Every structure is written in structure tokens, then in C-alpha cells.
Amino acid sequence: MKQVNVKYLVLTLLASSIILLDQLTKYLVLGNFHLGESQPVIPGLLNLTYIRNTGAAFGMLAQADPKFRIPFFVIVPLAALSAIVYVFRRIPAKDRKLSVALALVMGGAMGNLIDRLSLGYVVDFLDFHWKYRYHFPAFNVADSAICMGVAILMFDLAVRSDDEFTEETSR
């Protein structure tokens, strides 16, 4: 019997879990909140607030012409997912850190892409603030996964020795 490559198991389980958790939380928000409605979770720090994001991360390009914005936000994630698959296939089977990072980014990108294709916008709801004065832009589970994956990638690149990097890229 052929042994399953652990990196593909990590990709499948983690990316699927991110997508399911992301879509479940968005489903709950859509079913229980009106647009703009906000409920404090930790007063002075965290609210659940239903927001529709037609832009990129933190609302960037939300005001762009829909003739540009809509195709852009479908094509770019598909290209990014293709690039992730390309890189993923080339990483060593034992590199679990990179497998986890890429799976987080892939799951998050797919979660937000599902929203864009089905709703035309991304549902955001995690509203962190400091005493209601200083607000961080609202985000969701998919955004969190993407940020964690990118942070792991950046950390990995920062601590990887030149010898390791040269050895892996010369394959």
C-alpha cells in the first residue's frame, strides 16, 4: 500500500478546516446580523459587526470601478492559488512549517473567493478596536488564516540559513 505524503495530508486537512470554519462563521453572521449591526463581545476591545467588503484586505480598492474590481478579485486569487500549488508541489515532504503556511494561505484565499463568487463581496465581522476610538479594519477567519500563513512564510525566510535556501532552490 502506498504511503500518503504528509504534506498533502496537512494541505487537505488544514485548508479544508479553514474553509469550513470561515464559511460557517460567515453563515452565522449572515443569518443572525443585519448589515452594520454590531454586538460587543469584549466591551472596549472586540465587537462582532457585519460588514460587506467589496475590496481587498482591509477594504483596499473597494471604491474601484466594478468593471476592474470584480474580475481583478477573481483572477488574482486564482493566480495566487495556482502559484501556491506550484510551490507546494516542490517543497520537501518533511517541511511541515512551509506546508502549514501554504495551507493556511490557500484555505483563506479559497474562503474569501467563495464569498466573492457567491455573494459579490466578502463577509467581514471581527471588529477589534481600542475603547471604540481606534478601529482595526474588520476581518474574518479567512483573512486571519492568510495573515498567519504569510507571517509563518516571512519568519521562515528570515531564519532560514543561506545554505538551506540555496540547497532548496537549486533542486
Q: Is 156 a catalytic residue?
A: no
Start-to-end CA span in the chain (Å): 28
Instruction: Select which of 22, 115, 127, 143 is catalytic.
Output: 143
What is the torsion angle, in degrees rounded to the nearest 10, for the CA atoms of residue 71, residue 149, residue 139 and residue 26?
80
What is the enclosing helix (H) or strand (E) of 47?
A: strand 46-53
Cell 488544514 belongs to: 14
Instruction: Select which of 124, 127, 162, 163 is catalytic.
Output: 124
Q: Is 65 a catalytic residue?
A: no
Closest-CA residue to 111 (of 144, 63, 88, 153): 144
Residues facing residue 44 across a β-bridge: none
Residue 19 CA to residue 153 CA, distance in Å, equals 20
Residues that are catalytic: 124, 143
